[in-house]
Structure 1
Amino acid sequence: MALQHTTEIPLDDLPKAQALYQGLKNQKCILMIVLGDSKATQDGVQIADNLAPTSPGGFTRKVMWVKNHTVLKEELEPYLHAAEIIKDDTPYEEIKCFCLTLSPRKAQSRIHKNGVMDYIRVEQLYIEAESQSL
């Protein structure tokens, strides 16, 4: 899988994972966060990567792929709670994908673990984050 706009977060080196996350978080970009490593998630990462250079608003888009929900959970879960994306009946582990706005970083919507990451839904997440970044 050739990914040009995606950073894969290592699962076995937490300091490196945190450093990569901080580097992406500090960039001026719309940041798509993808969690998990199922076949559907892998396909979704490829779609998000393919859509990254196509922003109609001229935003830089990046993808961060965390193949395990436990890595960076302390850093990522607060975005979802702050946006009230995670409700009592939707644990963090049931989220497949969400997108962060530019500074200040925030999330507005998500794709559930059993949801589809197709071109339309992924583009919707990007566009929503971009519209909240204006």
Structure 2
Amino acid sequence: MALLYTTEIPLDDLSKAEKLYQELHDENCILMVVLGNTEATVKGVQTADDLASTSPGGFKRKIMWVKNHVVLKDKLEHFLITAKVIQDDTPYEEIKCFCLTLGPRKANSRIHKNGVMDFVRLEHLYVEAESQSL
């Protein structure tokens, strides 16, 4: 599986994981965060990567794939906790995917662990983050 726009975060090297996180966080791009490593998640990452090649608004799109919910939780969870439009108390471990706007980074919606990462839902996350970045 050739992933051109996806950075896989290492699970066994926290220092490298944090460095990659910071590089992606600082990059001028719409950043999709994918959590988990199920068969459905792998397919979703491939779809997200395919969608990253084109943006109707001309934004650069990237994916950060963290294959478990433990690595970088301290960096990522606060985006969901502080999201103004996310009004429920869904635990971080129940989230599969969310997208961050350009700086200042914020999340507006997400896909739950039992949700589907299909073309429509992933493109919606991208476009929503892009529209909030204007």
The number of residue pairs the alignment matches comes to 133
| Structure 1 residue matching 2:63: 3-state secondary structure | strand
Aligned position for 1:38: 38
User: Any residues of structure 2 matched to 1:7-26 within 5 Å, and which?
Assistant: 7-26=7-26
Q: Which runs of 5+ in 1 are unaligned?
A: none
* Normalised TM-score (structure 2): 0.97
Q: For 1:77-92, what aligned pairs fall within 5 Å after superposition?
A: 77-84=77-84, 85=86, 87-88=88-89, 90-92=90-92
Question: Deviation of residue 86 (structure 1)?
Answer: 6.8
User: Sequence identity of aligned pairs in percent?
Assistant: 71
Q: CA deviation at 1:87?
A: 2.6
Partner residue, 1:108: 108
Would you say 1:60 and 2:55 are equivalent positions? no
- Aligned mates of 2:21, 2:55 — CA distance in 1: 22
| Partner deviation per Cα, 1:8-27 (whole Å, 9 max, x = no partner) | 00000000000000000000
- TM-score with structure 1 setting the length: 0.97
Give the root-mean-square deviation of aligned CA atoms. 0.9
The one-letter code sitting in structure 2 at the alignment partner of 1:87 is D
Partner of 1:29: 29
Aligned to 2:123: 123
For 1:93, give the aligned amino acid: E
Gap change, CA 1:80 and 1:121, over 3 Å in 2? same
Gaps of 5+ in 2: none
The answer for the alignment partner of 2:93 in structure 1 is: 93
Shift of 1:53: 1.3
